[in-house]
Amino acid sequence: MGLLALLASALCTFVLPLLLFLAAIKLWDLYCVSSRDRSCALPLPPGTMGFPFFGETLQMVLQVRDEAQEIRLIYKTHLFGRPTVRVMGADNVRRILLGEHRLVSVHWPASVRTIRGSGCLSNLHDSSHKQRKKVIMRAFSREALQCYVPVIAEEVGNCLEQWLSCGERGLLVYPQVKRLMFRIAMRILLGCEPRLAFEEMTRNLFSLPIDVPFSGLYRVRVARRVSAGCRRRRRAGGYKDALQLLIEHSWERGERLEYALKQSSTELLFGGHETTASAATSLITYLGLYPHVLQKVREELKSKGLLCKSNQDNKLDMEILEQLKYIGCVIKETLRLNPPVPGGFRVALKTFELNGYQIPKGWNVIYSICDTHDVADIFTNKEEFNPDRFMLPHPEDASRFSFIPFGGGLRSCVGKEFAKILLKIFTVELARHCDWRLLNGPPTMKTSPTVYPVDDLPARFTRFQGET
């Protein structure tokens, strides 16, 4: 009798829960497969759907890599409560990016839509997206960028002087670069904005959409109320900055000032500082690891008269920045290996074929920027940091979607020219004022939501003494 009781206890404690778990897994698989479009004869892409309800969201957040899936150009998964197809490779990405409004439409996770706001550029569609993008583009015209150059150079120069004053104790590069890029975004794009409030928004960008006290979404709502207190505006050089243009656009549409500030400031600050901070940190990393590349950067600066400190005519402007071709290649190679944004989110508007598989209507589609760079056939020795590869001409059709750090199609990054100029100025000032050493060697990179070094990149900076 005691043995039977022991067996019954073991059955209830171990076997029954296991059977229930396996049954749940099976039912989950049947549910996921049943969501395919049965009117289409093509199969679903290969891949796994993960655990019931959670899918593979936890693996994505924790960045657990599945190498078996990552070698596929297209595979299915389940993320943020939705069946999802992840795609990479120039041909597949071309179909997605050029299929906007026809095959797919932008559809970010609920937490992103809530935090960034329904009225921000990345969440708008059709004519609303076109109109808002046109407004923002006025803030990134060549004339406006020319006005930004001395402001950026001043901020970068002041920041580098602070880094040089740290001496032997060194500093953590990534937090410092984030502060620098935030100051630049504040001065150029919108004026005064509470930095800590915005960082709260960024940390919780991919949080669960649960608005209760102490949750990520609740903290973001509080942070947005704080950031909406910003009212000071800035004008200089006869141009209107991006926030002023967006607010005027919102007024024309009959929107309240507070709503316009919330929508526009979050949008501009995330795009204007988080991504550029990631890219600038990667630039410091690669130039620190490859001194021969830094030397070639300085040779280009010397050829343009920008390296000699005694030259009073070496101030930067758009014309001279556009002549710095090799530095442009260094930035491109940095963005190839470490694109700040790993990919983009879409939703299928109808069932369509991609690479021999069906993409069912209503499924999410994620195109991967970093993986597309990794598998691009136009790049040889892909793991090597080699800016010279961009000095060579590539076939336009082949390279257009093999290198997509700023996305592509109708939703390519609206501030990409601003980012390129900012990163060029940063590289110029860094190369002609500083030498540095990475104290921990090559860093491990993580994505949350942009790419950054796990150790924050500790480094020691000294003054460059090459030209006097």
Annotated binding-site residue? 413: yes
**CA pair distance 451, 60, nearest whole angstrom:** 14
Buried b (16+ CB within 10 A) or exposed e, 333-365: bbbbbbbbbbbbbbbbbebbebeebbbbeebbb
- State both tokens at 222: 């509080």
- 186 by Cβ neighbours in 10 Å (0-12 / 13-18 / 19+) ranks as buried
Q: Which of 321, 322, 325 is nearest to 333 (CA)?
A: 325
Q: How many residues does the chain have?
A: 468
| The two structure tokens encoding residue 324 | 């710095």
Exposure on the CB side of residue 108, measured as CA atoms within 13 A = 21
How far apart are alpha carbons 421 and 417 in whole angstroms? 6
CA distances from 37 to 20, 41, 43, 100, 323 (A): 29, 8, 9, 21, 53
**What residue type is 154 in one-letter code?**
E
Can you tell me the distance from the alpha carbon of 330 to that of 427, in angstroms, rounded to the nearest whole number? 9
Kind and range of the H or E run holding 179: helix 173-185
Question: Measured at the alpha carbon of residue 88, what is the angle toward residues 82 and 90, in degrees to the nearest 5?
Answer: 140
* Angle value at C-alpha 113, between 111 and 118, nearest 5 degrees: 150
The phi and psi torsions of 151 (rounded to 5 degrees) equal -65, -45
Q: Which of 298, 288, 334 is nearest to 460 (CA)?
A: 288
Which residue positions form the known binding site for heme? 413
Which residue positions form the known binding site? 413
